């Protein structure tokens, strides 16, 4: 499960910086993009929904004025095993 989660975290980090890396990150953006990343990897199923919840629960908190780029950098650290 941890490997799966790390891959999803990295995919999400890549996805959120693809467009507008200097834009402010929001919880709604993260959840929407987590759904897209999970759907891309697992399709739509009850299992995919559980994976999406696991991903959402693994995300580090958003800091005030976090840009997509700054958040993605922290998310990559979490995916590599850092505890923030």
Burial 41-76 (b: 16+ CB within 10 A, else e): ebeeeeeeeebbeebeebbeebeeebbbebbbebbb
Among the listed residues 81, 71, 83, the one whose alpha carbon sits nearest the alpha carbon of residue 34: 71
Q: Give the model confidence (pLDDT) of 10-67 as tens digits.
A: 999 999 999 999 999 999 999 999 999 999 999 988 888 999 999 999 999 999 999 9
User: Can you give the pTM of this predicted structure?
Assistant: 0.91
Locate the domains of the chain by residue range: 2-79
pLDDT at position 2, please?
Answer: 66
Burial 2-11 (b: 16+ CB within 10 A, else e): eeebbebbbb
């Amino acid at each position: 499960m941890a490997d799966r989660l790390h891959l999803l975290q990295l995919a999400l980090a890549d996805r959120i910086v693809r467009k507008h890396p200097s834009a402010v990150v929001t919880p709604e953006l993260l959840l929407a993009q987590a759904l897209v990343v999970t759907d891309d990897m697992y399709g739509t199923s009850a299992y995919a929904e559980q994976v999406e919840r696991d991903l959402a629960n693994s995300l580090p908190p958003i800091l005030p004025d976090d840009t997509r780029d700054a958040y993605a950098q922290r998310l990559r650290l979490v995916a590599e095993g850092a505890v923030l």
